Amino acid sequence: MTAAPNDLLLAEPAEAWRYAFTAAWKIFTAPFSGDAGSAVLDRERTIADLELTLSGAAWELWRDFTTAAPRASAGIIDFWHQTVGGKAVLILDGLSLREVPWFIAGAAQHGFTVLHAEPRATELPSDTTAFAKALGFATRSKLENNGSPSPHLPGARTDSHNLPWASAATSLQSAPAVVLWHHCLDDILHSLSGAGDTLKALTQKAREHFTSDAFWTFLGHLAKGRTLLITSDHGYAATGHFGDVGDKAQADWLRNTFKSQRFTAGAGDADPFLPPLALQLDTASGPHRFALGRRRWKNAAGYPTLAHGGLSLLEVAVPFIILRKT
């Protein structure tokens, strides 16, 4: 692993987050050599030690996350202003580092050149609306049918939908500058967040989407005459594979604070535990409290097995991939 505990504990925040993101990228973007579902589960186990360090001895690094980790939203805006000629941004809602191997392999198989690929940070909270606001839109829905221009993305033709890939390809406008926010993978993620091995089920669904001819034909249409950036608004936590909080006082505090969510808006009572179970951070959307690390607690309404919005690496790190059709 690239990031050892001492790298995180002794480095300045920007360097520490670079270590952490590089380590996660190396683990999750290696090519799949067998069953993808089993490989993703193995990678979840591999990242657990690094996640434990970030929620334990190095927990204070999260206070610098929004300023120290390069953000995907800022990268989109830079790409938009620096790219000469046609350009397209595809935001795949809920795409995480886990799915990157299909994009790297698929690019080579379908005549694309990967110009750049790296992990980038989400907004906090790591959810859809926070990301939309960072791009200059009040909500994701404002992109529908070019509904509301963004001051950060001048000249963009925008849309947002969950059309099948074949329909999405035929619906593309001929505009030279396009921003499309597609609801895959997030809609699938939330539909599978009940009981069972939902991470493996989601991996299978993701494989079906991102290795399909229809998807790569869609990307080909999007990249025709345009440099294409693919990224996401947030990743997700495989909370079904998190450990239950065993201490009753800690579990009660988390349940009372978050119910079955990973974050909550507004300020509240300070976390009485050390290392903390949660952090209160100021964000562009105001103060929020966030569940910290790979923790799960029992709740009367059930606890989802796939979720996002909290502070764990796979929730806050997203792919940032620039392609060109060759």
pLDDT digits (tens, 9 = 90+) for 93-115: 999 999 999 999 999 999 999 99
> What number is the average pLDDT over the span 58-69?
96
For residue 51, CA distances in Å to 11, 17, 211 come to: 17, 12, 29
**How far apart (Å, rounded) are the C-alpha atoms in residues 261 and 297?**
10
User: What pLDDT, on a 0 to 100 scale, did the predictor assign at position 5?
Assistant: 61
Contact 224, 325 (CB under 8 A): yes
The stretches of the chain forming alpha helices (DSSP H) are 5-10, 13-28, 36-55, 65-68, 72-82, 100-109, 128-134, 165-170, 186-191, 198-210, 213-222, 248-258, 313-316
Measuring CA to CA, which residue among 316, 314, 323, 322 is closest to residue 98? 314
Q: What is the rounded average pLDDT of the residues 71-80? A: 98
Band of pLDDT at residue 2, cut at 50, 70 and 90: very low
Which residue is associated with the tokens 């963004």?
150
Separation CA 153–CA 18 (nearest Å): 27
pLDDT band at 4 (very low <50, low <70, confident <90, very high): low
What is the average pLDDT score of the chain? 95
Residues 6+ apart with CB under 8 A from 198: 192, 238, 240, 305, 306
User: How far, in Å, CA of 96 to CA of 230, rounded?
Assistant: 12
pLDDT for the residue numbered 326: 85
Q: What is the DSSP string of 264-294?
A: EES--SPP-SSS-SEEEEEETTEEEEEEBSS
Q: Which two tokens stand for residue 133?
A: 């606001």
So what's the pLDDT on residue 170? Answer: 84
Question: What span, in angstroms and rounded, lies between the C-alpha atoms of 162 and 160?
Answer: 7
Question: Between residues 6 and 196, which one has the greater pLDDT?
Answer: 196
Q: Please tell me which residue, 204 or 7, carries the higher pLDDT value.
A: 204
For residues 239 and 305, is the Cβ–Cβ distance under 8 A? yes
Distance from the Cα of residue 147 to its chain's centroid? 25
What is the mean predicted confidence (pLDDT) over 220-230?
97
Given a cut of 50, whether residue 20 has pLDDT beyond it is yes
Measure Cα distances from 239 to 43, 50, 60 in Å. Answer: 14, 16, 22
**Residue pLDDT, tens place only, 44-61:** 999 999 999 999 999 999
Q: How far apart are CA 209 and CA 70, in angstroms?
A: 28
Query: Which 3 state secondary structure label does DSSP give 91?
Result: strand
Q: Can you give the pTM of this predicted structure?
A: 0.96
Residue-by-residue DSSP string for 99-147: GHHHHHHHHHHTTEEEEEEEEEE--SS-SHHHHHHHTT-SSGGGGGGG-
Instruction: Report pLDDT digits (tens) over 250-301.
Output: 999 999 999 999 999 999 988 999 999 999 999 999 999 999 999 999 988 8
| Helix 13-28 and helix 100-109, axial crossing angle in degrees, nearest 10 | 60
Percent of all residues in the chain with a pLDDT value above 90, rounded to a whole number: 91
| Average pLDDT rounded to a whole number, residues 81-86 | 97
Given the structure tokens 């599978």, which residue do they identify? 192
Q: Are 64 and 11 in contact (CB under 8 A)?
A: no
The predicted pLDDT at position 1 comes to: 42
pLDDT for 206-218, tens place per residue? 999 999 999 999 9
- The full set of domain ranges for the chain reads 71-326
Q: What is the pLDDT of residues 163-196, one digit of tens each?
A: 999 999 888 888 999 999 999 999 999 999 998 8
